[in-house]
Structure 1
């Protein structure tokens, strides 16, 4: 639209709206804010922790126990459920509280013209039709059409993912990619340099920023793989427990001839034995421990279940700028007619010597190099403040590209601040996208001088001479060919070139004597071509190792960026994400692809470049439809929908926008891609530890059930060697802390060299069932049953009938309970590793397990010797012989398991 048509459409003019009209528009369009999606109420968030499948099972179990006149048992089960629910809510509330932040990308105030005069208003009150001013460093409050501008450059990386500043001007040109219209600026972006006046055309949720936020908020919560798996596990265990309970209820009635009520209590004891009441609290605490460990590794997790999801990740869709790269331009090469340099060396200031081609070069001895550095420093609108402390990056006020030139000059010993004072600017021709160059006018040694920088095709055609060994000579066709070939070579490597030139007008030139009269037409011609500065946004140093680990772990990385195809492929190849033959798909190509084509493309090595926000979302959802567990990383507003859709959204904490952080499941506090790999390792460890925990708690099911089986098959001749309350003591008391210790176990060696677990794999698999019931459980069943008969033997059995009540019976059930506990001590040690020797990781290295072991022995002693607890749990004091037998139980069990692991390690090695 013509600017006058824009004014007419919004019923405004160059002098802005009236206050009265602005108030009416504010009522019509609403405040200029990003509305947050309706958050779940605190009450609903609290109650959801008591309505999972396992929680419901425990509520029902407690009710049945109370109904069967086992009030203490029912209350104990309910108490466990309540404690776990409160703890789960508290953990998630703390995580959410630590990461939630208000949207701060829109500035607090805007400078507008209302009633014909400049005013400062709250940005929330900005309306379509408002005319407002933009200055360097300002965040832009609304989508707007530019009225006039002076060298305005805008950082649109929050929307596009590109770190290069975009030139904006009143004249329209489409540009490349989304949000590239030259005469439009967008809410949430930042003015890097220059000034402008613009008329607002869209505010709040109607802006591009708001549309992306709305797309993000429209995503419904989907259950994490761990939630799905825990529900599946609960159904498995419930089916096993209830089936066994029903079977034993029938057998008790028809085989033992128990009364129905007594048979029901007996069956309930079997159900209690097979339902792991400690599963929920242990899983919650295990995940909470994972969250704590991740926080120490710079990964802040908002949702507990996201910890384990990371371990299942099969694909990472990663942004490029600021995630894989450092988001700061660096000069890598210098091209001069006399020499081509590779910039090397570290440091901010280098005292007149610069590291080129791994050599210490004295700049004063290369006049061509010196001129290139001085022109780069003078033709510059950016300010670079030195690092505040060692190891920090310089603070940049302006564009990364210009900052790279200043830092290069500073490294060579040129004090840019003093140089600009000594050679002040007396005029300028700002950069525009048509000319593709910028010129500044200076008085150098008493002579008027024009310093020029820009794209090669904007400077080479108007250059008549070339600087060669510090002296200007006529430029030849061979020179032009050589320069163009060099530029193409650098471009093929994904590098950006910036041409440098100058002009010192002679007295006989056709230029006016007064620089104030210099124009594009009379000043920007007959240039002396100095050379090329070649830049890159370098990869993060640690990214190479992180990518290698991902490859070992069979995790694919797919780059999804708003940057150019050439740059994207260069970076992806350089850091090892893809090979040279990887397919690059641009946003325009992606838009034309149907679903089947995209699915096929995603099966091979692929890179996505110049993509729009909804396209990144489409890539993630298509990968999920292929059965992949997708982690999506990003920092910009444009990344938010994909972050929300992904199985695990990972936002950057330092450079990330608040919208991205709000959409993500996890935030990297150091913006380090390598932290994702550490988090994935932690996620895999959490899952592995959950399986160890499951093995640990299930192996006690057999010795808990064995007494009932013996009772049943002897038709009641052998009284129940273990009561229901004693079974609950194992499940909720003695088992709990060692199980939590298993949740804190460190990664086993080689965990990141295994592929992600299949989506069809389950926590409770055949291997765990066999090991829990037929190995650990069977051995513990034999030992605990022998302990029961050991006490009866000491008291006259088999010459005396087995007691069904009284002190001897209590002592015998106590010994059964104690034997199970000491078998569990061995199991806690054995479950620490799957195949590795426990001695190889340090027998005493996990202090939490040993703390849990000490706790369960103390708890057992209290149950045995405190009179009140003796009556509640049907226990009795035992003597020294019994304790000696108990202490000896774990040693052979650990050694037998070590022998089994050794055998399987040898078999795996062969």
Structure 2
């Protein structure tokens, strides 16, 4: 609690003084305490990234199937399965590695050096070499290298927005003593690591380095393990379920083998086929590739995704919690109102000739410097220079003809600043400061170029204009002039005018907020700034309408977590909050089953970025701590980009959902056809290699095409999906089971076609025993080829209908997706190769088919698409489920 104690007492406790530590003592402390640098989490190696992709229940099932295949000598099956696992891991590893490289490119060096006084000598040293007790010198443009108890200040102002979220620089005073429980923003005698000096000078003694700084404490809050996304949870449950089903099917087959007196080894091979059929081998790879394609889409909308699963989380977001400063606002103070010549108007009306005195005073009574792209100084003073430049009046141009000859610096007691300028033989003193203070020293007023005594009515009008600006949460400054006196004495001033400024909202943010409303997404502003300022920006952006929708950190302290959980859905603005408050707010929304996105750029945002379902950091102005905690980084620092990212996320989830339903429906068809035939005492309609081929080729190609589909029109006018909903919500389970049963019936029908027709042709009775008796030798191979072909081709037709279950294929086929046609015709060509090329036919154990047979099987396999066209009007009439 160094902020509550006098500077001399702190120096004494730290064994230091105004001359600083000796080099030997500093070296001793450095050896004991370690460097002044936060320990960064080591980035994962390629091997760690690779192994991380294998931590998935579905992958475990595939690996188990591969091991069993090797044990039974089915090496080709094992190779194919392991190939899929390898592909999935490599794609995930490469994509996450790319994201890390992109973030490394964005990383900027901060606070690499510090100016210290050691043994009375001022020197520049690496900031990492600072120790407790070092005396650090600060001036404008410097980054504070450690936590300091200030021991002297001269008009010192520090931008603490990255830590507190407050847009206006904090005025510092070494003599100030804080209350015991003063929040960070009210500790005027402290300077904190990674904040920046915007004005004045100061000295401070280091009281905290590395992990013991306020930033270090925040960093310690970021060590929790990442939570699983809704999709990861769904796929994990699905993987476990499929694993259990595979084990149960294998056990059931052994029982059947014993009951039917079948060969146990033969049934074990069949059991592997059934286990393979139960697990869609291509699903992990397809989901990973679809997410990777989504990441590439996100790059096009200026978003870097650090973790693949975060892409789909965006699609479920129902609450966007955003920091104000630099996220919803421009982080650049701007003059938006002026009061001059008795009129309140906009700064765009300023004229370089008629308003020259007004412009000249604010530009000359100013210590900020703008040179090209370089901008150094207090944001308030930079805003005044911008106002002047917009009207054609610059400080460089004025100071050549009106050099500064005297000044009286700003201090928090007077709340004024004065500079004196000489032009020719005349002098003019310009004073700017707080309205109420400056008016006390005014005896005159300049109006329409003429000076006259100021009246009580004038002062009332001025205060009324200032009040009107304050109600809009503008920071108000007054300016006055005095001629013929070089003393810089602030008496007998002539009032000139007022300016009102604010860190303005980003123009594109309002449209984004409105779009979120249409999408059923609530925008929440969370800031360390003052209540009035936050509420004014929130009203302008359409985030809040009433004052009751805003609470402060102090009010939050008076609530239990349960009380906050109950009230949070009625709130829209949280002002004057700490990092701990932000985490509480995020947790409160999550307690109400909301998927929360937290957006921010400052160090103070990092814990809540980590706590949210998806953290979004700013790439340009964002601190490295914020980027490290986030799941996604915006490369253009544009709040509106979040809307585009969420739209992409919804589209990607839509694609993954229909891909999963397509693959599982297809695999269910394989399982039902295999199990039904075996229970009936018939030969297996499919070989293990057939199932692997279908799952990896004729299934996977259409699945990838489905994953590459563009997002549906109007997707941002739908409500967010409920995170508790499974992938089968909205009619998905019905579609999976129906098409699974349909494909199974077709596969069995194709398998039984030849023996049944032969029995009918011979006039023999059609019984299971008679059919099984015929299913041997060449006829069995041909019947399996029929089943294999119908299974593969029916799934190709089925994929066309799955592009949009509520829209006719004749409409969706017009939507450009070249992969759809490529996968369909490519899959058909590969299936032809599997039966018509001798080399492949030998591997798959298939028979060559005649053209008429191919034509008949392809037409028969169209059945799923015919049912799709039948279901479209029915689903629309009944409003079954939700689209996507």
Establish whether TM, by shorter chain, passes 0.5.
yes
State the Cα distance separating 1:661 from its structure 2 match. 0.4
Find the residue that maps to 1:219 and give its secondary structure: coil
Find the residue that maps to 1:192 and give its secondary structure: strand
In 1, Cα distance between the equivalents of 2:27 and 2:639? 47
2:656 aligned partner? 690
2:364 aligned partner? 378
| Pairing partner for 1:192 from 194, 198, 202 | 198
Indicate if the aligned counterparts of 1:153 and 1:166 stay in contact, CA closer than 8 A.
Answer: yes
Indicate if the aligned counterparts of 1:742 and 1:849 stay in contact, CA closer than 8 A.
Answer: yes
Q: Deviations over 1:251-273 (max 9, x none)?
A: 4443x442333333333332322
Equivalent residues in 2 for 1:195-210 (5 A)? 195-210=201-216
1:96 aligned partner? 100
In 2, Cα distance between the equivalents of 1:177 and 1:527? 38
> Which 10-residue stretch deviates more, 890-899 or 129-138?
890-899
1:226 aligned partner? 231
In 2, Cα distance between the equivalents of 1:447 and 1:844? 75
Find the residue that maps to 1:127 and give its secondary structure: coil
In 1, Cα distance between the equivalents of 2:601 and 2:435? 32
Q: Deviations over 1:696-741 (max 9, x none)?
A: 112223442354355335432xx33322211111111221121111
State the Cα distance separating 1:450 from its structure 2 match. 1.3
Runs of at least 5 residues in structure 2 that lack an aligned partner in the other structure: 765-769
1:278 aligned partner? 282
Indicate if the aligned counterparts of 2:444 and 2:454 stay in contact, CA closer than 8 A.
Answer: yes
2:433 aligned partner? 454
In 2, Cα distance between the equivalents of 1:836 and 1:611? 48
1:762 aligned partner? 726
1:86 aligned partner? 90
Q: Deviations over 1:773-799 (max 9, x none)?
A: 22x334333443443345557878753
State the Cα distance separating 1:688 from its structure 2 match. 1.5
Is 2:298 the partner of 1:294?
yes
In 2, Cα distance between the equivalents of 1:797 and 1:424? 112
2:539 aligned partner? 573
State the Cα distance separating 1:625 from its structure 2 match. 2.7
In 2, Cα distance between the equivalents of 1:601 and 1:489? 32
Structure 1 pair 833–605 and aligned structure 2 pair: CA distance change class (3 A):
same
| Pairing partner for 1:239 from 239, 244, 262 | 244
Q: Deviations over 1:630-662 (max 9, x none)?
A: 211110111111111111111000100001001
1:845 aligned partner? 816
Is 2:721 the partner of 1:745?
no
Indicate if the aligned counterparts of 1:844 and 1:850 stay in contact, CA closer than 8 A.
Answer: no
In 2, Cα distance between the equivalents of 1:593 and 1:859? 65
Structure 1 pair 843–326 and aligned structure 2 pair: CA distance change class (3 A):
same
| Pairing partner for 2:421 from 421, 429, 442 | 442
In 1, Cα distance between the equivalents of 2:319 and 2:800? 35
1:596 aligned partner? 562
Is 2:446 the partner of 1:467?
yes
Indicate if the aligned counterparts of 1:139 and 1:188 stay in contact, CA closer than 8 A.
Answer: yes
State the Cα distance separating 1:772 from its structure 2 match. 2.2
State the Cα distance separating 1:890 from its structure 2 match. 6.2
1:681 aligned partner? 647
Find the residue that maps to 1:322 and give its secondary structure: helix
> Which 10-residue stretch deviates more, 101-110 or 429-438?
101-110
Equivalent residues in 2 for 1:14-53 (5 A)? 14-37=18-41, 43-53=47-57
State the Cα distance separating 1:752 from its structure 2 match. 1.9
Find the residue that maps to 1:715 and give its secondary structure: coil
Indicate if the aligned counterparts of 1:106 and 1:187 stay in contact, CA closer than 8 A.
Answer: no
Structure 1 pair 57–765 and aligned structure 2 pair: CA distance change class (3 A):
farther
Q: Deviations over 1:351-381 (max 9, x none)?
A: xxxx42xxxx6542x3xx3211110111111
1:712 aligned partner? 678
State the Cα distance separating 1:909 from its structure 2 match. 11
2:743 aligned partner? 780
Is 2:125 the partner of 1:127?
no
In 1, Cα distance between the equivalents of 2:802 and 2:217? 51
Indicate if the aligned counterparts of 1:822 and 1:889 stay in contact, CA closer than 8 A.
Answer: no
State the Cα distance separating 1:322 from its structure 2 match. 1.0
State the Cα distance separating 1:589 from its structure 2 match. 2.0
Q: Deviations over 1:380-411 (max 9, x none)?
A: 1122345xxxxxxx652223222222222122
Find the residue that maps to 1:110 and give its secondary structure: strand
TM-score normalised to the size of structure 2?
0.93
2:400 aligned partner? 421
> Which 10-residue stretch deviates more, 885-894 or 610-619?
885-894
State the Cα distance separating 1:887 from its structure 2 match. 4.2
Indicate if the aligned counterparts of 2:316 and 2:720 stay in contact, CA closer than 8 A.
Answer: yes
In 2, Cα distance between the equivalents of 1:84 and 1:603? 40
Let me know the Cα RMSD of the aligned residues: 2.6
Indicate if the aligned counterparts of 1:694 and 1:764 stay in contact, CA closer than 8 A.
Answer: no
In 2, Cα distance between the equivalents of 1:764 and 1:185? 54
Structure 1 pair 209–101 and aligned structure 2 pair: CA distance change class (3 A):
farther
2:767 aligned partner? none
Structure 1 pair 14–581 and aligned structure 2 pair: CA distance change class (3 A):
closer
1:483 aligned partner? 462
Runs of at least 5 residues in structure 1 that lack an aligned partner in the other structure: 344-354, 387-393, 506-512
State the Cα distance separating 1:2 from its structure 2 match. 3.1
State the Cα distance separating 1:671 from its structure 2 match. 0.8
Structure 1 pair 838–877 and aligned structure 2 pair: CA distance change class (3 A):
same
Structure 1 pair 739–197 and aligned structure 2 pair: CA distance change class (3 A):
same
In 1, Cα distance between the equivalents of 2:861 and 2:786? 15
In 2, Cα distance between the equivalents of 1:548 and 1:773? 40
TM-score normalised to the size of structure 1?
0.90
Find the residue that maps to 1:681 and give its secondary structure: helix
Q: Deviations over 1:644-699 (max 9, x none)?
A: 11111110001000010011111011111111111112222222211111121122
1:140 aligned partner? 144
Find the residue that maps to 2:221 and give its secondary structure: helix
> Which 10-residue stretch deviates more, 438-447 or 94-103?
94-103
1:390 aligned partner? none
In 2, Cα distance between the equivalents of 1:561 and 1:290? 31
Is 2:878 the partner of 1:872?
no
Indicate if the aligned counterparts of 1:582 and 1:606 stay in contact, CA closer than 8 A.
Answer: no
Count how many residue pairs are aligned between Structure 1 and Structure 2: 867
